[in-house]
């Protein structure tokens, strides 16, 4: 059972890399987008406000960290937790701008207005919030689905882990004879020390 709690590190490598890139995009694009007049007001790069932090930077950082965990861990429960957190962060990207006006501090949680024209504004809404969140949720769901299934490779990995546990080798027993002689371990072809001495003495007497 414990062997199935481990997965190959390659299981979440692709999903983790994609989540890392998407998380970095979501967290950094509101700060660097104004360089290209692409983003939301205020039209100034590296400007922080409560809306950017809560609606973009925090979920982007969570998604990026979840991607790093998926790429590096071999623990199935930890990888599943990372995928679930990424899915929550993606859902917040998609729904945060709809929920934030319900808060008491709604005036300070407004994401601002798109900077571009009407056509560009659509791409900004998709790439900053709704579309980005949907893609993150989709990739996180794929990773979570793969992690919940115990495949053939997982069973083989668990089997190899179990085979590494070996039984201790039996210790050869020693004892003493009725004459007080110390004998060799069981299975040894040697004789007790005193017995060998008596055999040599008899051989010398017979030779004489």
pLDDT tens digits for 16-56? 999 999 999 999 999 999 998 899 988 889 999 888 999 99
Q: What is the pLDDT of residues 138-154, one digit of tens each?
A: 999 999 998 988 765 65
Per-residue pLDDT, 6? 82
CA distances in angstroms from 129 to 20, 39, 62, 123, 137, listed in the order given: 16, 11, 15, 10, 12
Give the HSE-up count for residue 55: Cα atoms under 13 Å, Cβ half-sphere. Answer: 28
Q: Is 6 helix (H, G, I), strand (E, B) or coil?
A: strand
Q: Which two tokens stand for residue 150?
A: 């115990």
* Spatial contact of 2 and 164, defined as CB atoms under 8 Å apart: no
> pLDDT tens per residue, the chain (208 residues)?
455 788 887 888 999 999 999 999 999 999 999 998 899 988 889 999 888 999 999 999 999 999 999 999 989 999 999 999 999 999 999 999 888 877 755 566 788 888 888 888 999 999 999 999 999 999 999 999 989 887 656 556 555 555 554 445 555 555 555 555 555 554 445 545 555 555 555 555 555 5
Closest Cα to residue 19, out of 100, 99, 88, 96?
A: 88
**Cα–Cα distance between 20 and 29 in angstroms, integer?**
14
**Cα–Cα distance between 80 and 145 in angstroms, integer?**
9
**Cα–Cα distance between 6 and 75 in angstroms, integer?**
5
* Spatial contact of 83 and 70, defined as CB atoms under 8 Å apart: yes
SS (HEC) of 97-133: HHHHHHCCCHHHCCCCCECCCHHHHHHHHHHHCHHHH
CA distances in angstroms from 29 to 50, 116, 133, listed in the order given: 16, 15, 14
Per-residue pLDDT, 165? 47
Per-residue pLDDT, 33? 92
Per-residue pLDDT, 153? 60
Query: How many CB atoms sit inside 10 A of residue 118's CB?
Result: 7
Per-residue pLDDT, 106? 56
**Cα–Cα distance between 171 and 24 in angstroms, integer?**
59
């Amino acid at each position: 059972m414990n062997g199935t709690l481990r997965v190959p590190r390659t299981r979440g490598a692709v999903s983790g890399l994609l989540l890392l890139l998407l998380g970095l995009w979501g967290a950094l694009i509101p700060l660097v987008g104004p360089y290209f007049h692409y983003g939301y007001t205020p039209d100034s790069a590296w400007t922080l406000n409560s809306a950017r932090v809560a609606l973009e930077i925090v979920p982007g950082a969570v998604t990026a960290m979840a991607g790093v965990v998926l790429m590096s861990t071999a623990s199935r429960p930890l990888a599943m937790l990372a995928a679930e957190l990424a899915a929550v962060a993606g859902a917040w990207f998609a729904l945060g701008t709809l929920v934030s006006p319900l808060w008491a501090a709604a005036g300070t949680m407004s994401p601002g207005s798109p900077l571009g024209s009407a056509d560009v504004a659509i791409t900004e809404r998709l790439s900053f919030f709704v579309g980005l969140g949907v893609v993150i949720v989709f990739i996180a769901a794929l990773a979570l689905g793969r992690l919940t299934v115990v495949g053939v490779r997982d069973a083989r990995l668990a089997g190899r882990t179990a085979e590494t546990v070996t039984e201790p080798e039996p210790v050869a027993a020693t004892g003493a004879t009725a004459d007080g002689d110390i004998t060799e371990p069981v299975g040894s072809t040697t004789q007790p020390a005193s017995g060998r001495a008596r055999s040599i003495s008899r051989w010398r007497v017979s030779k004489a």
